[in-house]
Amino acid sequence: MSKTFNAFQMAQQQFDQVADLLDLDHGTRELLRNPMREFHFLIPVRMDDGSVQVFRGFRVQHNDARGPSKGGIRFHPHETVDTVRALATWMTWKCAVVDIPLGGGKGGVICDPHNLSLGEQERIARGWVRQISKVIGPLKDVPAPDVMTNGQHMLWMMDEYETIHGGHFPGLITGKPVGMGGSLGRTEATGYGVVYTIREALQTMGMEIKGSLASAQGFGNVSQYAVELFQELGGTVVAVSSWDQHDQVAYTFRRMSGVNVAELRSISDRFGGIDKEKAAALGYERLEANAWIEQEVDVLIPAALENQINADTVNRIHPRVKLIAEGANGPTTPEADEVIKARGIYVIPDFLANAGGVTCSYFEQVQSNMNYYWSREEVLTKLDDKMTAAFQAVHALSVEKELYQRDAAYVISISRVADASKMRGWV
């Protein structure tokens, strides 16, 4: 990642552009372009060898005019508060674009789970909750898993919160294991949501997923389920990329007949890192990290980290590409957007394309608070309905006002949050 890249500056730049379009007043701009609250804290942890390490933790609550803050918790060695601010901001717009009654939040701890035992990770998770337990809760701020955290971390966090507050609060946190307050369909929700929007976008172009080719960046949760559903619907994904922990670089794995998700899962670690020797034995070519972007396909699915389609990489996109569906948060920089606009490539912006995760998290929160749980089919049907309606609203506005798709999605989101803030009397 570029050392000069700042995700929060990018989020603010995107906001400012749309604030101008909407002619927002000064007070509303100042309120919405910055987080309402930030918490920075230290988490002392007794390590397995008896030593104490102190980890830095964050929670940022960007805006809660439309409902409790909502957003994941990352465990990442390169976490920065500006990344957390950006992700919290994008979560506000994401909840608004799919019209669910939540605001944006995000959390993180600077650590590397690759180098931590499960016991050490548990102590970090519980320590994070101890530092922030007064300002999170089912009606205040509802965390969830994110990069390198999972249902087990969420359960440790919920248990710590319940111990502190003396009761059962399953609606505190989402992404929990099924049977412990988790929702069926949650694991696949983000990836499936990406594909629901791809299906709708291709239809507007007179195309279908069946017979289409795609290439994806990443092989984490989002990418795996997006690839899985894309291929179930008759498309072919020819390449995915993945981080190699041993070599400390990413590789692209390509098989022109199509990748097999189940096969690749069987040779991947828990972070989605694909074993390169085993992949070669299964007939996959191993290419350099950014080779996923230059494949001759109809659809690109960046589903890893921010700042991946940028001024340096955007010109490597093959002329055949007609659609980019942003499974990751902030994968495309404003500079790259200008090139993509000029080429007429249809973009499903991140906070719409990957909103399936937070939508299903909302469904989980509702189920937890009711203590009544839906079937997987019911969850995924509701998810498809929400994602399709959100896509259609954004597409219709982009056509009506001749707006770039990202700008159309922002206009809808920012208008909804600005209206809620005004109705509350904040601005």
| Helix residue ranges, H only, 74-185 | 81-97, 118-132, 151-165
Reply yes or no on domain 187-348 having CATH 3.30.1360.30. Answer: no
Phi, psi of 268 (to 5 degrees): -115, 155
At residue 162, φ and ψ (nearest 5 deg) are -65, -35
Contact 154, 291 (CB under 8 A): no
Could you list the beta-strand ranges (E) of 138-272.
141-145, 213-217, 236-244, 249-254
Measure the N-to-C terminal CA separation of the chain; round to a whole number of Å.
37
Domain range annotation of the chain: 36-183, 187-348
Strand partners, 54: 44
pLDDT value of residue 3:
55
Determine the pLDDT at residue 271.
77
Tens-digit pLDDT string for the chain (427 aa) = 445 789 899 899 989 999 999 999 999 999 999 999 999 999 999 999 999 999 999 999 999 999 999 999 999 999 999 999 999 999 999 999 999 999 999 999 999 999 999 999 999 999 999 999 999 999 999 999 988 999 999 999 999 999 999 999 999 999 999 999 999 999 999 999 999 999 999 999 999 999 999 999 999 989 999 999 999 999 999 999 998 888 889 999 999 999 999 999 999 987 789 999 999 999 999 999 999 999 999 999 999 988 899 999 999 999 999 999 999 988 999 999 999 999 999 999 999 999 999 999 999 999 999 999 999 999 999 999 999 999 999 999 999 999 999 999 999 999 999 999 999 999 9
pLDDT at 137 (0 to 100): 96
Q: In the prediction, which pLDDT does 306 show?
A: 83
- What pLDDT is attached to residue 403? 95
Q: For the domain 36-183, what is the CATH code?
A: 3.40.50.10860
Residue 166: other Cβ atoms inside 10 A: 7
The residue among 31, 38, 98 whose CA lies nearest residue 418 is: 31
Predicted local confidence at residue 147, as pLDDT: 84
Written as one string, the DSSP assignment of 87-103 is HHHHHHHHHHHTT-S-E
Using CA atoms, how far apart are residues 225 and 208, in angstroms rounded to an integer?
19
Bridge partners of 242?
251
- In angstroms, rounded to a whole number, what is the distance separating the alpha carbons of residues 325 and 394? 14
> Do the Cβ atoms of 57 and 43 come closer than 8 Å?
yes
The DSSP annotation for 49-77 comes to: TS-EEEEEEEEEEEE-TTSSEEEEEEEET
DSSP state of 170: G
3-state DSSP helix/strand/coil % of the chain, to nearest 5:
45, 20, 35
Closest of 329, 326, 324 to residue 341, by C-alpha:
324
Residue numbers annotated as active site: 106
Structure tokens at 201: 């976008």
Question: DSSP class of residue 233?
Answer: T
Q: Are 81 and 40 in contact (CB under 8 A)?
A: yes
3-state secondary structure of 43: strand
Going 252 to 256 to 257 to 258, the CA torsion angle's sign is positive
Q: How many CB atoms lie within 10 A of CB 267?
A: 16
Beta strand 37-46 pairing with 103-110: unpaired
Task: Tell me, yes or no, if the two domains 36-183 and 187-348 fold the same way.
Answer: yes
Strand partners, 72: 144
Selection from 327, 349, 256 nearest residue 296 by Cα: 256
